[in-house]
Structure 1
Amino acid sequence: MFFPDGEDMTHHHQPVEQQKQLLKQRLNLQTQALVTLARSQTIDRGNFKAALQEITEVVADILNVERVSVWLYQGIAVAQRLPLGFFPQVNEAFFERGTPSGTARQVPGTEGIRIKCLDLYEHNLRCHTSGTELAAGNYPVYFQALASECPLAVHDAQTDSRSQELSESYLRPNGITSFLDAPIWLNGQMVGIVCLEHIGVQRQWTLIEENFVTAIATLVALTIEACDHILTQKQMRQHHQFLVSEYHDDLERLVEERTAELTRTNEKLQKEIQRRSTVEAQLRNYQQHLEELVEEGTREIIQTNEQLQREILSHQRAQEALQESEEQFRCLSEATFEAILIIDQGNLCQVNTNFTQLFGYESGEVIGRNLGEFLAPEYRSCVPQLTASNSEQMYETCCLKKDGSTFPAEIRSKAIPYQGRLVKVTAIRDITAQSQAQEELKKSVSLLNATLNSTTDGIVAVSTAGKIVSFNQKFVEMWGLSQDVLRVPEKQEGFKFFQEQLKEPERFLEKVNQFYAQPNAEGDDVLELKDGRIIECFTQPQRSGFQIIGRVWSFRDVTEKAKAENTLRQHLQQELLIAGMCDRIRQSLNLGEILNTTVEEVRQFLRTDRVIIYRFEPDWSGTVVVESVAPEYLATLDIVIHDPCFGADQIVPYQQGRIQAFADICAAGLTPCYADFLRQLQVRANLVVPILYGVSSQKRGGDGERLRPEGDKEPALWGLLIAHHCSGSRQWQPIEIDLLKSLATQVAIAIQQSSLFEQLEAANQELQRLASIDGLTQVANRRRFDEYLHEEWRRLAREQSPLSLILCDIDYFKLYNDNYGHLAGDFCLQQVAAVLRQCVRRPPDLVARYGGEEFALILPNTDARGAAFVAETVRQRVRGLRIPHVKSPVSQYVTLSLGVASTIPRLYASSQKLIGAADEALYQAKAEGRDCLRHQR
């Protein structure tokens, strides 16, 4: 059980300590994976979908499982519910779940239950899918197994009774042979599973893997709780912000509504008072005539008294409504965050609690006092404006507390009718924090200006309209600008100085326009100036909050840095070129590939028009074996070139390492024939380095221009490494000459190595052939038989294809040797071997001499029926040879007995079983009279 993924069981003989070490490594990997997932930032951010994908990917990599998925139950009621849709990617995956009974874990039933896949990761495809559902009504046995086994480990998913009902609809379409399910427990309930699905050869799940998957299921449950907690906190913060933003507006709305309501109530009260006055006047008139109208007006007096009582009751109710309105107004004034006071004729008649707390007074101490007493002396001149009935402006002033301290404040006043008269409602707000923020802003601006002027970069800020709004002194110095240029309002005119100094001003201005067309874009560029300087520039949008108000440009002079980088880059490219060729020589034995790559990289490095490798023939003519040439120039590949000026006197200098470097062949003083030869090849400048074959290394001579071999051995001149510059004259640099010297040495090593490898390969092939062939019959020997059978066994085990084996034995061959002699016996064996080779013509089939007079036929991808047909064909053709065998009890001619065995190999089984089956079938054929075949399945 400790060999997952179909490992070969023949490794059981490994030492116990080695197995312990292997288990320890696996445990460490799993522990590290759990720690990494527990610390994942995706869980901390509440991104449930990303968290699930990260978990499934890690599990698939650690356990080498093709499919890893997370499923949740649906259709089960539970008292404690998780919030629906608290992470959008789950959608309907969260649902009602069952309530635990007591303290024991309750497994949900199967009626109306299903599980839904939240995330499925396929390892080889590197993709995630979701949405698959499995209903418990369709797979009751499987769901019962989930409820009763924790975890559920199924090694043969196709035949296991717990999962067999999933075979047709789910397992076979997905190629699943084994799976391991671990439950997800949350609040004492099994709410889902983590599923590992193996594809290919059946897999034996280990206890370590079961424990690891159980831990992963626990981690998924914790992830659900963490994401729920994060979502709840986020909703609480949003609700709090909403209440804060809405409170002030609602308060002002309520104040205005209550003020209007009080106004209407006051108007009604005035009307009632006037009406009462009228009634009282009428009553006095009635009293004057009371004596005269006692008898006649008794009834009228009673009615008048009743009407008066009703009016008095109405007046009392109006007073109560007025008091209630005043109480509501007082509550509103207490609820605001500002200090509220009511001023009547310049004096305070009412204040709220915020006023007394802000100024340090008791409410009784301020009633009747003038507003100016609460302002700093230097600000009391604005009191008439604040108390004026038509004033509704806002003023910034300085208020005076009871303890004598002052604070900056903002005052607003508004006139309203109150208790039948016009009063001023004034609000005072402490703006100390705003004043301090303004001071900090001034300091920050000052620090920013100092920073901009002290930096080595030229910095300029431009508005969205393209107008320069700010810049530092380094920018002015770098571009040599005047103040008049910087004050130009138009964008195109403001950037005109770039056109005068840049080598490619159109390209730069095009990029500028692109940035202004895309306000959010950031970018950088390298600018080349006409005076030779190189300037790096970087730009990004300038934001105020979420609004883009302009763009900032930064410029840096990197001329010296660019020159140093260019020199360093050339040296680095040379070293990489040589190192790359050395690696290719070590890693590849393909000489043509090495040489072609070399000339192409050299031409790119030198930026020249043609690079060739020229190989000499014995008569000192030669052929261009590889070439890299620009499209517009003559190609010389595979052309045989005969240089009329190259003679024996040229060989020795080249063998001694002479290097030729001509900047211009017209001014180099060359012989006319050599100069004409180079002109035919369109060459203007030439660099030639010899390739010396047959030495282990080369060293620079004392004159710095010749290469000499180690020791006294004279090297052979194999060819030349040549660089042609065709477009014009060129002065070859020392770094370029050194590069070709080093590469010529590496080319010589590659040529020498390739030659040695070809000799070694030929020798190895001949040895391999001799080691695998039987010398007498020229068919495969027993050693090759064992190797090939093992190879095909493992290959066909992976493909699950049939393999057949035929063992043949010449009947009574000892009697044949005794009667005809060993030479005749050898010839008989050769004839039988020839017949076997003729009967099996497929490339995968193998004929081998198994023993003295025994032969074997290995038939891959052949079932029992096909193997029987081949065996019968062999038997009849051997009889058809009609080789005389007078001593044979079976026939007067040589015959064969054959045993046939067929199987579908398995990785954990041994091929020796197939050999034993074929040998047993051969024994049966001999026991039943020989000259026949028997098949053993």
Structure 2
Amino acid sequence: MNVERRSDQSWCDAKVKGKSDPSHSCGDSSGGSSTHCTSAEVACEYDGSEREVAQLREQLARTSAQLEQYRNYYEQLPGFYFSLTSEAIVEQVSAFAARQLGYSRDRLQGQPFVNLLNGPQEVRAFRQWWTGADWQHHSDTEQIHGREVTLQCADGSPLFLRLSIRTVPPLPPGDLRGSRTFPHPANEPERVLFVGEEIGDLKQALKNLEQQRQFGTQLLEATDVLVRNFVSTVLDTANSLVVVLDREARIMSCNLACEKTTGYRFEQMSNRRVAELFLIPEEVEAFHTVLVQLSSGNGPNHHENRWLTRDGELRTIAWSNTAIFEEDSDRVKYIICTGIDITERRQAEQALRQSEERLRTQYKHIPIPTLTWQCVGDEFFLIDYNDAALAMTGGCVARSLGKTARCMYADCRELVEELKRCFRERRTIKSERFYRFCATAEPKHFAIVYVFVAPDMVMVHTEDITERKQLMGALQRQARRERLVGVIQGRIRHSLDLDRILATTAKEVRRFLQVQRVAIYRVSPPLAEGGSRDLTFVVESRTSAVPSLRDESLDWRWFDPEPQCAGDGLPVCAIADLETADLPSAAIARLHALGIRAHLQVPIWIRERSGVAPDSDRPPERGDRLGLWGWLWVDRCSAPGPWEASDIDFVEQIAGELAIAIQQALLYRQLQLANQELEHLATLDALTGLANRRHFDAYLNREWQRLAAAGVPLSLILCDIDYFKAYNDTYGHLAGDRTLREVADALRSTLREGELGARYGGEEFALILPHTGAEEAMSVAQTLRSRIHALAIAHKASSLGQIVTLSLGVATRVPSANLSPASLIAAADDALYRAKALGRDRAIFHHSIGPPPGHCP
């Protein structure tokens, strides 16, 4: 690499001409020719032979190629690389560094490195460092030290770099070391290589960190001031009295509320003892006791005393004390006392105590039972009651006087919670409870009213409303029963599903009567005249704890030893206790095993015609008499007990509604049978028993819509009896009808499940084949054609073999929204026309291209 930026050839020419040019002469003590110059010489000469000149030219050519290869490698370095001469002139620069600075490499090469520095201060520092660098004590490849510099880019922005400086080893002999044209000290390197690392982000981060540190310091200083001001402001704005005492009970600080209450300014109270300034003599000893206890760490957190104000008024103050101990010591440093002036409160309490006597006299003889509760802390204590309350509780409140509400209502926490809610919300609360006082025989219904009458007092008025509740319960039960009967009536009149009506009735009756099981049985007709009629299980509703009656064999005559004849009526059987019932022992044992403790049985009567069973499908008619259809059973399995008259009336009323439902269901069943018969007649061809044209159209449309959603094929076969008119003319219409029925039977035997055969016209038939493709449809057509051949029905008027034959047209489509069933019919009809045109007695598939699949003439 030539630092004088001239070609190697021109430098070589100068060496050759140096002998005759005085400016390039260099003496030698031996008088011989010189081959190279030292680094200290200014010029050199050469006077060798032409052969030596040629060798020198070849050596220079090789050196130039190596230097060019080094330059190409250097340009591709992906970093900040600068190669400087010993005069700090930029000799080479990496392409990456040139791009980052915004200059071209040609612009930077040959420039002094100081021209790239950002500002005079950077230039002075760099020059001082460059001239003072000790190059002599470092090897050629050793890193001298790093340095941070700031370069100025082409757009004026700074670029922060940390440089690693290395010396480049000098060129070996023969590598144009003598090409220097300026003095070169022996202790300076040939080149200096700067390797840079951008540290702009690092310097910005350090700058931000320093700014945050300064901001944090300022914030801490400001926070300390704010805290002190905040504490002072809080103390001055607090409604409570705040006094700071030292261990000798001298006042060190106080707030404005304390100054306002006592009438003294802080300057008048400062460093004065509390006892000598505010306390009356009888309060001093108690106050000193509190101080001693606080100093020992076991002092009370709360105490009360009276302070004498500057105006001579005694104020009662409740104090909350906090002791502040010295650091690493159990010695009290300060005592912070927070007080509340409760003078008015104590006066109100005194007035309340005075009024209590008057109140006690007033409400002692009130007929409404009343209890008075006083709140102390979180507890309510019974402090008074009147005579009515004493009588209502049977003397229980007399033993509970002075006790807490939790103690008196230990088995009913809801009463305590309602008492607390009344006191907490400061309002009247009403409620009802089913409760038994300790001295009463049984629980009763009470209407309770909680009245907040004083800051710490609640009055509770209690009234026995048991009779009223019983009356209201009976009315509500009656209303509910009527509503339930109305619901069942509505369901019976709006529903014709007898099974659903019976199941719903059993479920609702069980819920209303709150029993464990309700079942409905039907009395089966006798197998012979005068025979017995057994019970048949229909439906039941039961709890999970009782067994089912579904598979149990029961005899209804257990409950009526001598049954009267039908129509005279059977009595309602109501058993309050199965153990004492007048039943056969076998029946009692059987029913007891089923968990029955009390039993109610009501008959279900319907109108029936004499000699016809009550469960016959024939509907009742006018003039029919009542017949026993079944029984409505109600079982109480938890405990025995009498059946109320209202409950028996309810079950009888439900049984009457069920009778209406049963008769209505019989009529509906007859109507369904008639409709089914009519529908059957409306959809069948009377002669052949196949579907008629109306049913064919409806079935094809329905299957078309269904298969369109599934995307599967649907096939249609239209067939016609060949020369059928000639057959009728020859054999007569009766023979023609018989032939139609035989063809229809053959067609019916060909059908599979889900397929439909129909009489499409006079002698024309149709087959609808869902889920059937073209190949399979042609196979069905050929099977049907073969079966007609097998019948061998004589037809001498036919020219096709003297027997009855069929012509068939087959079409297949995949239904979609873009097509209609009419397209399938048209395709099958077209195929049938082609079959007839081609000579009859054949099956043709409707196919526009190529032969039809499975075609067989």
Q: With structure 2 as the length reference, what TM-score do the two structures score?
A: 0.46
- Larger Cα Rg: Structure 1 or Structure 2? 2
Greater fraction helix: 1
Q: With structure 1 as the length reference, what TM-score do the two structures score?
A: 0.42
